[in-house]
Amino acid sequence: MKITGASIIIKKLIEKNVEYVFGYPGGSVIPLFDELYNYSDSIKLIQPRHEQGGTHAADGYARSTGKPGVVVVTSGPGATNTVTGIATAFMDSVPLVVITGQVPVSLMGTDAFQEVDITAITLPVTKTNFLVNDISELAPSLDLAFHIATTGRPGPVLVDIPSNIQKAEIEESEIKRGNIENFQTKTKINEKQLEKAYEMIESSEKPLILSGGGVIISGATKLVEKFAEKNNIPLITTLMGKGVYPKNEDLFFEGLGMHGTYYGNYAVQNSDLIIALGVRFSDRILGNVEKFAPKAKIIHIDIDRSEIEKNVTTILGVEGDVKRIMSFLLNFPKINKDFSRWIEELSEQKRKFPLKYEKRGQLKPQYIVELVNKYFSENTIIVSDVGQNQMWTAQFYKFKEPRTFLTSGGLGTMGFGLPAAIGAKIGNPDKEVVLISGDGGFQMNIQELATIRRYDINLKMIVIDNAYLGMVKQWQELFYEKRYSATPLPDNPDFSSLAKVFGINSITIKDWEEAEKSIRKISEMNEPVLIHALVDRDEKVFPMVPAGASLNEIMLE
């Protein structure tokens, strides 16, 4: 019995337990969408209003569920519109499978209508990609795509499929499976390395656990918390590591880096041993790398060998899955050392230099974040856009569960928030999802309000409107003599009225009392709703470490 290429694709999606496809049709994927029409009971199609929005939505789905997000788009501009979303997922290790249509094989290389070499374009921002030139390669390519996207360090994989391959037929008996043997990740634990790590912790006086996004991805949050509590070791997280939160709150000193806490940065700079778990040591947490953690030896545990020794010098680099390694380390006896003086030293810094803002005058964005934290449950998924809203969210919301903070960390993609929140809610229909966005980023994919209305997605949206591209304005004020070039947004729309045009309930707030009343109200509503928050235009994100400065050179105001 013969089967078409389009049928193979759909059957593979069902085989991989794909529940949702985020897709936008076009000429070169009509055969695939036609086949998808027959399987609406098995695979639900979510159609965004822009391919970038669809890719971010698949990303939000993947980050919040741990399952791969699947995108289907047409060739040419349909494919290139996904590139920012693919790069966003690549930087933050998010599993995506992006299926793009392509012109027929016979027309490739002729500059045909809507032809673009998308595999070449996306090569630097995918784990790998495939161009299927023969129907016999289709099933194996899809098998490999899902395997590679979801194993080892996750990431996006693209499969480019010409339209004639989608229409072509092959005998079912001739369909082959992908050979994944060459793509197996390292599984053996180096016990001697971990014994050495244990000895290093035992001989330290001021150890510190630095928990990164790899801890969340591997599902190791509870193990890391248990390890910190068992051995009484203080813990901090990166931006992507939010959601690791020990039951003993006295051990937790929040974040580090450019907009980390004073006491988190102090911990790094005064520790004598840093146990880095699933961290890539980006410039945003290092500051001046020559002055980073000057007193500390570094143990770096990561599934990606290329990250070890890439940006910082380590005494001990351990390659492997964080979850398996932490399970092994928990079998060791409790560290026979009292670290209480070190914890008290950090606690004293926390008391002296807490996160704070002036709770008077115009409505402050930090207060809005605190209200969301107050009125929504701990398992609420918070999605931020990029900029000041992102940093205020990271600082003032207390993330206590994994996969509850979604944001574009590595690429810093404005416009990520709204579609990613849509994907998160689709993947987690029984959880509340709250978007906290700035006025600039919200407008970059604002068309996805139509997607919310179309699918009646119960999403809570808060647009923090300070009429500026706030983070860039902050830099201009501090370092560029207040020359506000291209950052004012004096012509912002009335976001509340705009939401209503899309058929979405909305509220405008501009003072402290309205803020509390409205956020409490939306926490009780069972429908999509937008809050347009008019806030203090001059409020800044502090603490702040200027770019290239040492973590010791932190600005508190």
Q: What per-residue confidence (pLDDT) applies to 179?
A: 86
Q: What per-residue confidence (pLDDT) applies to 371?
A: 98
Q: In the predicted model, is pLDDT for residue 185 greater than 80? A: no
Q: Over the stretch 157-172, which tens digit does the pLDDT of each residue have?
A: 999 999 999 999 999 9
Alpha helices in 260-384 (DSSP H): 262-270, 283-286, 322-329, 340-352, 365-375
Q: What per-residue confidence (pLDDT) applies to 454?
A: 97
Average of per-residue pLDDT across 416-433? 98
Query: In a 3-state reduction of DSSP, which class is residue 437?
Result: strand
Q: What per-residue confidence (pLDDT) applies to 92?
A: 98
Banded pLDDT at 184 (limits 50, 70, 90):
confident
| Rounded Cα distance, 522 and 48, in Å | 25
Banded pLDDT at 118 (limits 50, 70, 90):
very high
**CB-side exposure of 14: number of CA atoms within 13 Å?**
14
Q: In the predicted model, is pLDDT for residue 181 greater than 90? A: no
Residues in the chain: 557
Q: What per-residue confidence (pLDDT) applies to 188?
A: 83
Q: In the predicted model, is pLDDT for residue 178 greater than 90? A: no
Q: What per-residue confidence (pLDDT) applies to 182?
A: 75
Question: Which two tokens mark 161?
Answer: 């499929």
Q: Over the stretch 265-300, which tens digit does the pLDDT of each residue have?
A: 999 999 999 999 999 999 999 999 999 999 999 999
Pairing of strands 169-171, 2-4: antiparallel
Query: Domain limits of the chain?
Result: 2-183, 191-352, 365-534
Distance of CA 28 to CAs 121, 424, 543, Å?
18, 29, 50
Q: Give percent of the chain with pLDDT exceeding 70.
A: 100
Report the top-level CATH class of 365-534.
alpha beta
| Rounded Cα distance, 316 and 325, in Å | 14
The answer to whether the CB of 404 falls within 8 A of the CB of 221 is no
Q: Which of 34, 35, 45 is nearest to 10 (CA)?
A: 35
Report the top-level CATH class of 2-183.
alpha beta
Q: In the predicted model, is pLDDT for residue 187 greater than 90? A: no
Average of per-residue pLDDT across 206-211? 98
Q: Over the stretch 309-338, which tens digit does the pLDDT of each residue have?
A: 999 999 999 999 999 999 999 999 999 999
Q: In the predicted model, is pLDDT for residue 441 greater than 90? A: yes
Q: Over the stretch 33-70, which tens digit does the pLDDT of each residue have?
A: 999 999 999 999 999 999 999 999 999 999 999 999 99
Q: What per-residue confidence (pLDDT) applies to 547?
A: 93
Neighbours of 467 (CB within 10 A): 17
Q: Give percent of the chain with pLDDT exceeding 90.
A: 97
Q: In the predicted model, is pLDDT for residue 183 greater than 80? A: no
What are the DSSP calls for 481-549, one per residue? TT---S-B-TT---HHHHHHHTT-EEEEE-SHHHHHHHHHHHTT--S-EEEEEE--TT----SBPPTT-
The answer to whether the CB of 380 falls within 8 A of the CB of 555 is no
Average of per-residue pLDDT across 246-262? 97
Domains 2-183 and 191-352 share a fold: yes
Q: What is the mean pLDDT of the chain?
A: 97
Q: What per-residue confidence (pLDDT) applies to 34?
A: 97
Q: In the predicted model, is pLDDT for residue 393 greater than 90? A: yes
Banded pLDDT at 255 (limits 50, 70, 90):
very high
Q: In the predicted model, is pLDDT for residue 410 greater than 90? A: yes
Question: Which two tokens mark 519?
Answer: 């956020």
| Rounded Cα distance, 330 and 524, in Å | 41
CATH number of this structure's domain 191-352, picked from the four choices 3.40.50.300, 3.40.50.10890, 3.40.50.1220, 1.20.1250.20: 3.40.50.1220
